[in-house]
A and B are shown apart, each in its own frame.
Chain A
């Protein structure tokens, strides 16, 4: 998040960057960070599931497996997100 710092350092008083712009930029950076995290974990899990003994290339069955794995990982992620969200709502309703 290096650019985070430089976005704020507009030097001196009377920053040209208004709050709205900063908020939008931060949201974008957060979204990017989340996408990277998702990709990293997905790659890790699908490599473990689909690649046995690493060969000299990714053969067809491995590629098909990875493709399916990606979709299933997204399904799993969405299920977890939904379930966690419902649980939080339930907990809040109790308070």
Chain B
């Protein structure tokens, strides 16, 4: 019989799996919220009766470029750390 104290909760594999899945879903949701907000600023002029194709393309591009930016930053950070030995040092030296 499993108790629901701290140890019990993480020892339950079903609960563990559930937590992993839900956490992943939440990370996704959070990013959608964030990108919608950011891209709204970039793409939306005056809200009309529908989302026209130009605005829709803007949102699509915005999402793709946002993710590209995120990946670029991670990659470059990795590079700078490898070559210059530290993040803070490389910021100061830029």
Which residue of chain A lies nearest to B45 when distances are taken between CB atoms in the complex? A49
User: Can you list 10 pairs linking A and B with CB atoms under 8 Å apart?
Assistant: A8-B4, A26-B18, A30-B25, A34-B29, A34-B33, A41-B36, A45-B40, A72-B50, A77-B33, A77-B36
Q: Kindly state whether residue A68 has any CB partner on chain B within 8 Å.
A: yes
Q: Kindly state whether residue B64 has any CB partner on chain A within 8 Å.
A: yes
Q: Kindly state whether residue B9 has any CB partner on chain A within 8 Å.
A: yes
Of residues 61 through 77 on chain A, the ones whose CB sits less than 8 Å from some CB of chain B are 65, 68-69, 71-73, 75-77
Interface residue tally on B, bucketed by range: 35 or more
* Contact A14–B48 (Cβ < 8 Å): no
Interface residue tally on A, bucketed by range: 35 or more
What residues make up the interface of B, taking CB atoms closer than 8 Å to A?
Answer: 1-4, 9, 12, 14-15, 18, 22, 25-26, 28-29, 31-33, 35-37, 39-40, 43-44, 46-51, 56, 59-60, 62-64, 67
Distance to closest chain A CB from B30 (angstroms):
8
Distance to closest chain B CB from A28 (angstroms):
12
Give Cα A65 to B65, complex, Å.
29
Of residues 15 through 40 on chain A, the ones whose CB sits less than 8 Å from some CB of chain B are 15, 17, 19, 22-23, 26-27, 30, 34, 37-38
User: For B4, what are the chain A residues with a Cβ–Cβ distance below 8 Å?
Assistant: 8, 10, 15, 17
Which residue of chain A lies nearest to B12 when distances are taken between CB atoms in the complex? A19
Which residue of chain B lies nearest to A13 when distances are taken between CB atoms in the complex? B3
